[in-house]
Amino acid sequence: MQGSAFDEGEFFLAIDRCGARVVMIGRRALIALGVPVLTADYDFWLHRDDIEVFNRAAEPFDLFPNRNPEEARASGRYVLENDEHVDVLVARQRSTVHGETVQFEDVWNRRLTMRCGAADVSVPTIDDLIRTKLFAARPKDLEDIQLLESLRREEP
Amino acid sequence: MTHAKRFVPPSTTQLATIAALAERQLTAAEVEQGLRDRLTDDQIEENRELIRWFRRRYPTASQRLAYARRAYARWSKSFPR
């Protein structure tokens, strides 16, 4: 994939300004926190009532949803895509592979805010990010958990 | 004189196989085992050193994210379309 004209800073600013309750999860959140990993896409966990406003913010970046909001609410996730690929989780809650229920509302209330250029970007706490890694529980998620645990030791 | 072997990028079939393995959901038992198999102190220290370098070299979140976009673009250039 070649780098496109997509401006990440402007994208974050549009998300920040739209007022949607959304946290960046996945490897992009690890990177923002300070873990050098590779990733192709963006992952967000969005409040299910904020799908429309989030989609409007993404539209100027030629990112279009693969499902309408009602379908997205029913399935719990959707994708915004074009040159970039943005996975959007909109479930109220998800279960880890161990059966622990993780509520969006709790992750949102505990979120960290990071300054990215002119935008504030919300990410989960390290503990919550580890929990989200246990939703899909792929081999690379375990590697990410180990990196997050190393990151935690770097925190004051 | 010996010559270094030229790097041959994996085929799309090989990439698909690797992706399927990487995307496989582990069972709860496999996760438990994986989390029990803690890293050695040396591995943890290597991770921490890598994190310290990354945060020192790219002190802000936007610098780190921009680096990651550049790194991914460089990395993906070596793969077949």
- Domain with A103, as residue range(s), is 8-151
Mind listing the pLDDT tens digit for each residue in A74-83? 999 999 999 8
Residue A89 lies in a domain: yes
Residue A64 identity (one-letter amino acid): F
Q: CB contact, 8 Å: B70 with chain A? A: yes
Total domain count for chain A? Answer: 1
The owner of tokens 């050695």 is B40
**How much is the CA Rg of chain A, to the nearest whole Å?**
15
Q: What is the CATH number of the domain that holds A66?
A: 3.30.460.40
Are B72 and A145 an interchain contact pair (Cβ–Cβ within 8 Å)?
Answer: no
Q: Which of B27, B31, B77 sits opposite A134 (nearest CB)?
A: B31
Round to whole Å and give the CA distance between A50 and A130.
Answer: 24
Mind listing the pLDDT tens digit for each residue in A86-95? 999 999 999 9
Please report how many Cα atoms fall inside a 13 Å half-sphere around the Cα of residue A137, on the Cβ side.
21
Domain extents for chain B?
42-81
Query: A6 falls in which pLDDT band (50, 70, 90)?
Result: confident
Residue A156 lies in a domain: no
Q: Calculate the CA dihedral of residues A15, A28, A71, A91 and round it to 10 degrees.
A: -100
**Which residues in chain B are contacts of A37 at CB distance < 8 A?**
68
pTM: 0.89
Angle between helices B28-36 and A139-154 (to 10 degrees): 40
What is residue A1's predicted lDDT score, i.e. its pLDDT?
Answer: 43
**Which residues in chain B are contacts of A35 at CB distance < 8 A?**
51, 54
Angle between helices A26-33 and A139-154 (to 10 degrees): 20
Query: A59 falls in which pLDDT band (50, 70, 90)?
Result: very high
